[in-house]
Every structure is written in structure tokens, then in C-alpha cells.
């Protein structure tokens, strides 16, 4: 099983600032198989990025993904008030389980 | 655009079976992979398993022996059964569809809270 760890656990920033969230895998993950989701209370998770760096339909270009191998990142270039949420990475590797990271909570400073 | 809606009991007694159904509209279950994910209170997302339209399933090994996934093409639904539940199975349960040509989950139901308690 591929274990994903995310850092930091909580990130406190102000609107307008840049956010960088990290996702590290216990084994190498093909770039095709790494995705990022945004989750707000009372809503289902929302797909932001798939295949490491491809934005899903309707996702603003302030969201970008990068990385390879075991180290991946989600960057939000300029935070908007609606961006404060929990962010999860997920790997859809060669075999199940298709694990999620524990999440990073992005909160308003 | 495909829409998914979970349904089932909100309260299940310990040792009993949790049964949920996901009804799909705006698309057919006769294609794609159909998944179940859960969010326990205070914890992160957990992938439970998925079923392909052919009926092939893959489950999380941590739950494998307790999970059964099925598909009903006549009703355009897919279902989850989780046996021998405990309080640790209390969670919001989501159904979701995998992308057609990529490995991620773009389409989700709203989620349903299932509480395991006597």
C-alpha cells in the first residue's frame, strides 16, 4: 500500500498570499496517478488537479500542481477567501487501495 | 452532467450490516468505474472500493472481507454493503465516479452520514 503524507497539517495564511501544500508518497507514484481535492464542510470533495498538473474542468488557473516520483505539491498563487478549506492528495496507483493523504487544513490567518 | 445521490439508513446498530445505494442520473452505470469513499469524524478520506461496469471490483484490503459492491444496471444504481459494523465505521459515505480517461474522481454525491450506535 502506498502511504501519502501531507505537510503542513495546518497552514495559516491571508487572502492574497501564496500557498504551497506538500504531498509525499512512501513509494514512487506515476505522475498520471496523482490528484488533488478541495473539501469544505457540508460539501463533497471537489477535484482540482489530476495527473499531477492538469486542472479539472472549471478550476481557476491560480491552482497549479507539480512534482514527480514521491514528492508532489499544490500551489495556490494568490489566495481568495473561498480557497480556505481542507486539501487532500490521492494516488491512483497500479493497485488498490487508492489512498488519500491525511489532508492539509488551509485557514485564514 | 452526471449526478450521484447516496441513500440508505442513517443509523445502523453495531454488528449489523450497513447498506447504501448510489443512484446515478445524467449518465449510465454501464460504463466507468464507480467508487465509495468515506470520511470518519475528525479524520481524512478513506477509499473503500470501486466497481467497474463489467462487475469487477477492487476493495480496500483493510475492509476487504466486510465489503461487497454491486451494480444494478436496470435501476442505474450501484451499492455498498459493509458487514459487522462498529463505531469506527461511523462516517460520511460518498459515492463517486472515476474520470473517463484519467485517474481521479471528478463526480461525487453529496454524501450521507451513517452513524453506528445501539
Residue B48's DSSP bridge partners are none
Which residues from A are below 8 Å from B96, CB to CB?
44
Peptide bond preceding B25: is omega within 30 degrees of 0, i.e. cis? no
| B55-111 confidence digits (pLDDT tens) | 899 999 999 789 999 999 999 999 999 999 999 999 999 999 998 888 999 999 999
Q: How far apart are CA B67 and CA B36, in angstroms?
A: 11
For residue B44, give the nearest of A51, A56, A103 by CB distance: A103
| B11-41 confidence digits (pLDDT tens) | 999 999 999 999 999 999 998 999 999 999 9
> Are the Cβ atoms of B99 and A50 closer than 8 angstroms?
yes
Q: How far apart are CA A58 and CA B29, in angstroms?
A: 24
> Are the Cβ atoms of B47 and A54 closer than 8 angstroms?
no
Would you say A44 and B110 are in contact if contact means Cβ atoms under 8 Å apart? yes
Amino acid at each position: 500500500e502506498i502511504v501519502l503524507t501531507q505537510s503542513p497539517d495546518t497552514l495559516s495564511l491571508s487572502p492574497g498570499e501564496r500557498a504551497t501544500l506538500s504531498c509525499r508518497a512512501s513509494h514512487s507514484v506515476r505522475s498520471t496517478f496523482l490528484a488533488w481535492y478541495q473539501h469544505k464542510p457540508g460539501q463533497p470533495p471537489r477535484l482540482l488537479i489530476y495527473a499531477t498538473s492538469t486542472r479539472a474542468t472549471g478550476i481557476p488557473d491560480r491552482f497549479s500542481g507539480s512534482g514527480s516520483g514521491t514528492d508532489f505539491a499544490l500551489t495556490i498563487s494568490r489566495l481568495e477567501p473561498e480557497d480556505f478549506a481542507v486539501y487532500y492528495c490521492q494516488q491512483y496507483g497500479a493497485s488498490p487501495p487508492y489512498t488519500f493523504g491525511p489532508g492539509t487544513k488551509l485557514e485564514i490567518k | 452532467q452526471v449526478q450521484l445521490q447516496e441513500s440508505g439508513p442513517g443509523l445502523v446498530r453495531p454488528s449489523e450490516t450497513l447498506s447504501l445505494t448510489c443512484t446515478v442520473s445524467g449518465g449510465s452505470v454501464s460504463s466507468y468505474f464507480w467508487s465509495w469513499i468515506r470520511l470518519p469524524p475528525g479524520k481524512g478520506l478513506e477509499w473503500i472500493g470501486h466497481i467497474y461496469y463489467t462487475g469487477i471490483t477492487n476493495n480496500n484490503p483493510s475492509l476487504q472481507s466486510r465489503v461487497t459492491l454491486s451494480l444494478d444496471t436496470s435501476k442505474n444504481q450501484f451499492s455498498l454493503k459493509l458487514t459487522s459494523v462498529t463505531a469506527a465505521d461511523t462516517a460520511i459515505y460518498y459515492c463517486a465516479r472515476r474520470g473517463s480517461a484519467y485517474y481521479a474522481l471528478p463526480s461525487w454525491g453529496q454524501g450521507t452520514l451513517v452513524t453506528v450506535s445501539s
